Amino acid sequence: MSRAARPTAILERELTLAVPDGVVLPDLDAVRGTRRGGVRVHDLHATYVDSPTWALLRRGLTLRRRTGGDDAGWHLKVPSSGARPGGAGGGGGAHGLVSRDEHHEPVAARSQAVPRGLRRLVTALVLDEPLGPVAVLDTHRVAVPLLDETGRRWATLTDDTVTAHRERARHGDDPEVVTWREWEVELAEGGPGEGAADEDGARLDALVAALRGAGATDSPTTSKLRRAVGDLPLPQPWTGRPRSAHELAALRVGDLVERLRAEDLRWRTADPAVRERPDGPSVHRFRTTVRRLRSLLRTYGAALDPGRHDDPHGPLAHVGAELRWLGAELGALRDAEVLRTRLHADLRAGTDEGGDPRPVVLAVTGLVDDVLGERRAVAARRVDRALASARYRALLAALDELAVPPRPEDDDAAAVRHEVARLVRRDVRRLGRAVDAAGATAPGAGRDTALHEARKKAKRLRYAADAARPVLGGRAARLSRRARAVQEALGEHQDAVVARAAVRDLLAAVPRSPRLAAPGAAARAGFLLGRLDGEQRVAARDAVAAYDVARRRLPRHPKRLLGT
């Protein structure tokens, strides 16, 4: 994607309240710690677009073209990390706030087409579906800046009167019209949730109390488009929590399908962030989701596709192989970032008595950036090509097919419980064999590899146990915690092993680095890197000690642990 076409992005944090007829805005100057700024009035005209299957809205995203106001243009709103899956535009956070990443591009003259930059960001959701108008919203907005005692704007309150024309009416009817009024409070950058002073949280609480006292009520949704489309069928992915008490007693095949849908939602809402900002957090979330999804398919494939789950040419095997490919592409980028962060932190310990980094530390830190920066750049280009490839789009389409099976309602609860426990026990045994193999391997590179394999088996067991919690309850939760302890200890060990290999690469690069051309600089850098290698060796040893403690807590009798 060209830099000129890259959308700008901000984090939007807001809450929405419904306003019944006749309700009047309260005296905002009476709210503790708040005074109103100059009021501005806008008339906004927005056209919302989506696919024929509502691929965006049913996953909590909205895409619109809006004129009027201070930010006319195209806006794509994506639930931010930590947003509740299945929500209408993000999950509720502290103070009832909803967080969304908003991507913006200006309106091109005389063009109604979705900008290529934004179209690219929603590729994972709409695939090859066309995007077209689904609703037109006209909003009369009264915007009131909210200031603190110093005159700093900490939020903006908008009083919106909305008239929505639903373009996609049922049965070919004329477009439907619906009107409503709502109040929105949007925090300024640096408000609660981004490390601002606690006073802003208190102001927000006082403001919401005043608005409710004036007659405002909970809004049925935080999304204007969702309110506009009303009762159109928009299937919601599972939130990961049982929906009723009886579901604690049975995990049906349909629940597994819905769990896959929940992971699929996390994937597709992480995709835009990786395309827009391939940084540490976005790549980590994406790769974790890919790995979790692959683990679920490997563990529960027999339940999802009993006839062909072990067919090496079947759909599950194909999707699993493609998930492995994608995970490897993402992993190279993520590993380069983790390694750079780790080495930077260890090098910062090399300071003089005044707390300033010694010149050799600065030079070696720059060498780390040179060597690992190039690795990261290569990995980032590979990820960019992967996400733009036909192979990736085919994988997304295959995942859609896996989520198609209907939800059965007549499964035998005891039989399904027994089957799920059997599948989880199988992963327990896999981990046990990997632990035994590592224990039987002599220290060295071979043992490092064996411990890494045990880590992967522990992660697979953890994800399987997490998915089984609705049926196995606390037993699955305990098993997940124990597997996670093994995974994390061995993860630290693997990070130290990889860091030692990187230190060797850095030592080889010292003679060629212009940063270390001064007399004696190369020798001092070699000494510093040797010390760094020793620190990683100690970290690996300590991680193995933590692993030895964690592995002893793994179940020797998984049948008894799982209660089946």
Kindly tell me if the per-residue pLDDT of 406 is higher than 50. Answer: no
The per-residue DSSP string of 249-316 comes to S---HHHHHHHHHHHHHHHHHHHHHHHH---HHHHHHHHHHHHHHHHHHHHHHHHH-TTTTT-TTSHH
> Measured between alpha carbons, how far is 500 from 544 in angstroms, rounded to an integer?
16
Of 235-244, 377-386, 438-447, the least confident: 235-244
Instruction: Indicate the pLDDT class of residue 90, thresholds 50, 70 and 90.
Output: very low
Q: By C-alpha distance, which of 104, 85, 105, 98 is closest to 285? A: 85
Instruction: Indicate the pLDDT class of residue 522, thresholds 50, 70 and 90.
Output: very high
Q: What is the pLDDT of residue 122?
A: 87
Kindly tell me if the per-residue pLDDT of 446 is higher than 70. Answer: yes
Kindly tell me if the per-residue pLDDT of 479 is higher than 70. Answer: yes
Q: What is the pLDDT of residue 91?
A: 43
Q: What is the pLDDT of residues 187-242, one digit of tens each?
A: 987 554 444 456 788 889 999 999 999 999 998 888 899 999 876 655 444 333 33
Q: What is the pLDDT of residue 174?
A: 58
CA 123 to chain centre: 16
Query: Which comes out higher in pLDDT, residue 100 or 309?
Result: 100
Q: What is the pLDDT of residue 244?
A: 35
> Measured between alpha carbons, how far is 12 from 92 in angstroms, rounded to an integer?
13
Query: Which comes out higher in pLDDT, residue 521 or 451?
Result: 451
Q: What is the pLDDT of residue 234?
A: 53
Q: What is the pLDDT of residue 294?
A: 86
H-helix or E-strand spanning residue 558: helix 558-562
Does domain 245-562 match CATH 3.40.50.300? no
> Measured between alpha carbons, how far is 343 from 267 in angstroms, rounded to an integer?
29
Kindly tell me if the per-residue pLDDT of 147 is higher than 60. Answer: yes
Instruction: Indicate the pLDDT class of residue 131, thresholds 50, 70 and 90.
Output: very high
- In sequence order, the β-bridge partners of residue 36 are 146
pLDDT > 70 in the chain, percent: 79
Q: What is the pLDDT of residues 364-383, one digit of tens each?
A: 999 999 999 899 999 989 98
User: Phi/psi class of residue 248: alpha, beta or left (left: φ > 0; alpha: ψ in -120 to 50)?
Assistant: alpha
The per-residue DSSP string of 157-199 comes to EEEEEEEEEESS-GGGPPPEEEEEEEEEEEEPTTSTTTT--HH
Of 267-271, 325-329, 559-563, the least confident: 559-563
Q: By C-alpha distance, which of 290, 334, 269 is closest to 103? A: 269
> Measured between alpha carbons, how far is 425 from 433 in angstroms, rounded to an integer?
12
Mean pLDDT of 87-116: 70
Q: What is the pLDDT of residue 559?
A: 64
**Highest-scoring range by mean pLDDT, 96-110, 230-244, 414-428, 531-545:** 531-545
Domain ranges across the chain: 3-229, 245-562
Instruction: Indicate the pLDDT class of residue 67, thresholds 50, 70 and 90.
Output: very high
Q: Which CATH number fits domain 3-229: 3.90.650.10, 2.60.40.1510, 1.20.1050.10, 2.40.320.10?
A: 2.40.320.10
Please, what is the average pLDDT of the chain? 81
> Measured between alpha carbons, how far is 37 from 40 in angstroms, rounded to an integer?
9
Q: By C-alpha distance, which of 422, 450, 441, 459 is closest to 562? A: 422
Q: What is the pLDDT of residue 38?
A: 93
Token pair belonging to 258: 């819905």
What residues have CB less than 8 Å from 120, skipping those under 6 apart? Answer: 1, 275, 388
Kindly tell me if the per-residue pLDDT of 449 is higher than 90. Answer: yes
H-helix or E-strand spanning residue 18: strand 8-18
Q: How many CB atoms lie within 10 A of CB 149?
A: 9
Token pair belonging to 174: 């004329």
CA 255 to chain centre: 21
Q: Are strands 153-166 and 62-67 parallel, antiparallel or unpaired?
A: unpaired
Instruction: Indicate the pLDDT class of residue 293, thresholds 50, 70 and 90.
Output: confident
Kindly tell me if the per-residue pLDDT of 74 is higher than 50. Answer: yes
Token pair belonging to 428: 């327990």
Q: What is the pLDDT of residue 560?
A: 61
What residues have CB less than 8 Å from 560, skipping those under 6 apart? Answer: none
Q: What is the pLDDT of residue 44?
A: 96
Q: What is the pLDDT of residue 112?
A: 80
Mean pLDDT of 441-466: 94
Query: Which comes out higher in pLDDT, residue 411 or 277?
Result: 277
Q: What is the pLDDT of residue 243?
A: 37
Mean pLDDT of 422-448: 94
Q: What is the pLDDT of residue 558?
A: 64
Mean pLDDT of 165-171: 61
Instruction: Indicate the pLDDT class of residue 83, thresholds 50, 70 and 90.
Output: very low
Token pair belonging to 55: 């691929």
Mean pLDDT of 434-460: 96
**How many helices (H) and strands (E) in the chain?**
15, 10
- In sequence order, the β-bridge partners of residue 186 are 14, 156
Kindly tell me if the per-residue pLDDT of 351 is higher than 90. Answer: no
Q: By C-alpha distance, which of 52, 132, 123, 85 is closest to 394? A: 123
> Measured between alpha carbons, how far is 119 from 289 in angstroms, rounded to an integer?
22
Kindly tell me if the per-residue pLDDT of 149 is higher than 60. Answer: yes
- What's 88's DSSP letter? S
Mean pLDDT of 55-76: 90
